[in-house]
Amino acid sequence: MIWENIKMAGRAILGNKMRSFLTMLGIIIGVGSVSAVIAIGNGVKASITDQASSLGTNLIQVNPGQGFSADGEGGGAAGFASALGASTLTEKDVETVRGIDGVAAVAPAMLVSGVPSVNGTPAKGAIVFATTGDYDEAVKTELERGHFLDNDQTKQVVLGNKVASELFNTTDVIGKEVTIRNKPFQVVGVTKKMDKEGLNLGPSLDSAVYISFEDGKAFNSGSANINEIEVKAVDPNQIGAIKDRIKQAIKANHDGETDFSVSDAAEQLKVFDSIFAILTSFVAAIASISLLVGGIGIMNIMLVSVTERTREIGLRKAIGATSSMVLSQFLIEAVVLTLLGGALGLGFAWLLGLLMDKLAGIAPVFTLEAVLLAFGISTVVGIVFGIAPAIKAARMKPIDALRYE
């Protein structure tokens, strides 16, 4: 009986193709939007997780200003404001951290206002960092050519792959000269091109330019405005204990003030997960409004369909069909309509995902749970909004239905 009802629903839908498509449009947009938001959100999380993993599980970052979920002792991942204004971190903090047991490498990093150029042609979007040669050991910096900065040398520069290509139209630039704020720098290295930029935890490494910490201080009137201290732990399993030592040591340097944050990849991922979970839920809630509109549209069309097929209903009842049979016929038709809309909605979500991947480099991640959720939502919408027309059809009396003109 169910299979017969499904075939009847298919004939009814195919008999009015345009009306059926327009009826499903709200479901298509709703399911597609919700599925796309979930898939893109999963893609963003996967991108950030991959980046955090590429930096290493033994990387600890110290930033000025208290971070999110601060525990009062320098806890939590760094907030956006930590990169603004005068830093609370000092060179003394760097030396203090370097002497902590369990620390393998320490490197300060400061942003420098300057644009690298060659013969007056600037590299658009380049971001200049001043750091030390230990940065290469603390953070996994993959080089395509040359080597990273030497600790005892100044006027050296390591170019991001994109910057090198923009300035010289090639990455074979070792030994060439780049100008930053009217000062000449010799290129000693070029970073490896990122496979796919996607969403970055920070500036794109392809657009990063590294100069020595001393050169950075010279550009800042001899003072260090440290935006971040990169710390590599000897043992990833001791991250928690090393973080505690760093917190207490820097707190002592700052006269008991916790005007800094110490975080690792796990904490940063928790912050991003919570942020994207909120954003995903918010956008999905907005997109789900179209499901309500689509459901109302299906109910209206099904009511029209019941009215148009009144004589058919009367004939079915006259030859022995029960009210439950008629009810299931129209209910199944509504569910089939919404399931088809759900399937088309998933296709729409896939297209949106491809567009996002092409434009923003964020590959969507479609999971089985998301697909099942899409069809589950479609089924629920079909049942909820199809029940009223189905009940109307089931309650018709055969004689009245057959007399209907």
Domain that holds residue 117: 89-256
Give residue 265's pLDDT.
Answer: 74
For residue 266, being part of any structural domain is answered with: no
Give residue 340's pLDDT.
Answer: 87
> Is there a single domain that holds both residue 251 and residue 299?
no
> Is there a single domain that holds both residue 103 and residue 24?
no
Q: Which residues pair with 263 in a beta bridge?
A: 61
**Res. 144: pLDDT tops 50:** yes
Give residue 5's pLDDT.
Answer: 60
Give residue 404's pLDDT.
Answer: 56
pLDDT band at 401 (very low <50, low <70, confident <90, very high): low
Mean pLDDT of the 50-65 span: 76
For residue 101, being part of any structural domain is answered with: yes
Of the candidates 66, 324, 346, 109, which has an alpha carbon nearest to the alpha carbon of residue 210?
109
> Is there a single domain that holds both residue 103 and residue 32?
no
User: Tokens 């979970």 correspond to what residue?
Assistant: 277
**Mean pLDDT across the chain:** 82
For residue 327, being part of any structural domain is answered with: yes
Give residue 166's pLDDT.
Answer: 92
> Is there a single domain that holds both residue 189 and residue 143?
yes
Tokens found for residue 303 = 């009511």
- Poorest-confidence range of 75-79, 283-287, 299-303? 75-79
First-to-last C-alpha distance (Å) of the chain: 29
Q: Can you tell me the distance from the alpha carbon of 101 to that of 240, in angstroms, rounded to the nearest whole number?
A: 13
Read off the pLDDT of residues 232-271 as tens digits, 9 standing for 90 and up. Answer: 998 888 888 999 999 999 999 998 888 888 988 777 777 7
> Is there a single domain that holds both residue 283 and residue 246?
no
> Is there a single domain that holds both residue 317 and residue 390?
yes
Q: Can you tell me the distance from the alpha carbon of 6 to that of 170, in angstroms, rounded to the nearest whole number?
A: 62
**Res. 72: pLDDT tops 50:** no
> Is there a single domain that holds both residue 199 and residue 294?
no
Q: Can you tell me the distance from the alpha carbon of 153 to that of 116, in angstroms, rounded to the nearest whole number?
A: 19
> Is there a single domain that holds both residue 329 and residue 390?
yes
For residue 31, being part of any structural domain is answered with: yes
Of the candidates 99, 186, 113, which has an alpha carbon nearest to the alpha carbon of residue 150?
186
Answer with the one of 197, 221, 256 that is the final residue of a domain: 256
pLDDT band at 169 (very low <50, low <70, confident <90, very high): very high
Q: Return the sign of the alpha-carbon dihedral for residues 40, 42, 44, 46.
A: negative
Read off the pLDDT of residues 117-132 as tens digits, 9 standing for 90 and up. Answer: 999 899 988 999 999 9
For residue 83, being part of any structural domain is answered with: no
Q: Can you tell me the distance from the alpha carbon of 322 to that of 75, in angstroms, rounded to the nearest whole number?
A: 68
Q: Which residues pair with 186 in a beta bridge?
A: 156, 177
Q: Can you tell me the distance from the alpha carbon of 128 to that of 185, in angstroms, rounded to the nearest whole number?
A: 12
DSSP for 258-313 reads --EEEEEHHHHHHHHHHHHHHHHHHHHHHHTHHHHHHHHHHHHHHHHHHHHTHHHH
Give residue 377's pLDDT.
Answer: 79
DSSP state of 82: G
Read off the pLDDT of residues 9-40 as tens digits, 9 standing for 90 and up. Answer: 677 777 777 877 877 888 888 888 888 878 88
Residues 231-245: b if buried by 16+ CB within 10 A, e if exposed: bbbeeeeebeebbeb
pLDDT band at 76 (very low <50, low <70, confident <90, very high): low
What string of H, E and C letters represents the secondary structure of 149-160? CCCCCCCEEEEC
**Res. 284: pLDDT tops 90:** no
> Is there a single domain that holds both residue 236 and residue 383?
no
> Is there a single domain that holds both residue 246 and residue 110?
yes
For residue 281, being part of any structural domain is answered with: yes
Give residue 400's pLDDT.
Answer: 60
Of the candidates 101, 162, 98, which has an alpha carbon nearest to the alpha carbon of residue 132?
98
Q: Can you tell me the distance from the alpha carbon of 60 to that of 249, in angstroms, rounded to the nearest whole number?
A: 15
For 11, 229, 263, 292, 295, the CA distances from 345, given in Å and listed in that order, are 21, 47, 40, 15, 14
Q: Can you tell me the distance from the alpha carbon of 144 to that of 336, in angstroms, rounded to the nearest whole number?
A: 55
Answer with the one of 226, 256, 286 that is the final residue of a domain: 256
- The total number of structural domains that make up the chain: 2
Of the candidates 377, 363, 361, 294, which has an alpha carbon nearest to the alpha carbon of residue 36?
363
Of the candidates 228, 207, 214, 94, which has an alpha carbon nearest to the alpha carbon of residue 156?
214
For residue 331, being part of any structural domain is answered with: yes
Cβ proximity of 192 and 142 under 8 Å: yes
Q: Which residues pair with 188 in a beta bridge?
A: none
pLDDT band at 107 (very low <50, low <70, confident <90, very high): very high
Residue of higher predicted confidence among 202 and 7: 7
Give residue 218's pLDDT.
Answer: 94
Interhelix angle 2-15/17-55, rounded to 10 degrees, is: 100
Read off the pLDDT of residues 129-140 as tens digits, 9 standing for 90 and up. Answer: 999 999 988 887
Residues 201-218: b if buried by 16+ CB within 10 A, e if exposed: beebbbbbbbbbbbbbbb
Answer with the one of 212, 227, 256 that is the final residue of a domain: 256
DSSP state of 78: P
> Is there a single domain that holds both residue 43 and residue 112?
no
> Is there a single domain that holds both residue 152 and residue 7?
no
Read off the pLDDT of residues 176-209 as tens digits, 9 standing for 90 and up. Answer: 999 999 999 999 999 998 765 544 444 567 889 9
Read off the pLDDT of residues 307-356 as tens digits, 9 standing for 90 and up. Answer: 777 777 777 777 777 777 778 777 888 888 888 888 898 888 888 888 88
Most confident of 16-25, 210-219, 292-301, 359-368: 210-219
For residue 28, being part of any structural domain is answered with: yes
pLDDT band at 299 (very low <50, low <70, confident <90, very high): confident
Give residue 70's pLDDT.
Answer: 44
Mean pLDDT of the 277-281 span: 75
